[in-house]
Amino acid sequence: MCNACGFPTRPGHWTDAGADNAGDRLRLQMSRAKILNRILAGYGFTARPPGHGPGFALASFTGRTTLLPDLEAVWAEAEKQLGHPLDPLDARFTSAPAPRA
């Protein structure tokens, strides 16, 4: 646990499974942020690793940035700001062809 911020509050988030050292966790966090932005982009958000520990900094298109401890918190915060949850089964993800990288 980080002494400065108290995160994570529980033993290892499940998405960190298989990453046994700090380097692997950092690498996973980076890859997760990339994927996370694919779903967030459709809703006007961006996310990046906060740089000092686990979790993400979620920025809305207004520039409002929130530090969040894990993915669940990201979905909850996005839902709070949008008024509805982000749904990966939304038609925009299931019917449109994948955008070019």
Partner 1 sequence: MTRTANDGRLRMTILGGYLGSGKTTWLRHQLFKGAFGHTHILVNEAAETPVDDTLLSAQATGITMLAGGCACCTGKADLIAALRSIIDTRSREHSDNRKIDQIVLETSGLADPAAILSAIREDSVLVHHIRVAEIIVLVDASNAADQLATEHLSRLQIEAADRIIVTKADAVSPPQLATVVATAKQLNPAANIEAAVKGQPFALDDLPDAKPIDLPDLIGDSAPITPTRITIGPDVDWATFSVWLSALLFARGDDLVRVKGVIDTPAGPLLLQTVRKSVQPPELLPPEVTRNENQVVFIGRSYTSQDLQRSLEYFTHA
> What mask, x for binding partner 1 by CB under 8 A, covers residues 9 to 28?
xxxx-xxxxxxx---x---x
Cα–Cα dist 13/95, whole Å? 31
SS (H, E, C) the chain: CCCCCCCCCCCCCHHHCCCCCHHHHHHHHHHHHHHHHHHHHCCCEEEECCCCCCCEEEEECCCCEEEECCHHHHHHHHHHHHCCCCCCCCHHHHCCCCCCC
Q: How far is the CB of 80 from partner 1 (least distance, A)?
A: 12
Nearer to partner 1, 63 or 101 (CB): 101
Q: How far is the CB of 81 from partner 1 (least distance, A)?
A: 14
> What mask, x for binding partner 1 by CB under 8 A, covers residues 53 to 92?
------------------xx--xx--x-----xxxxx---
Footprint of partner 1 (CB under 8 A): 9-12, 14-20, 24, 28, 31-32, 34-36, 38-39, 71-72, 75-76, 79, 85-89, 93-96, 98-99, 101
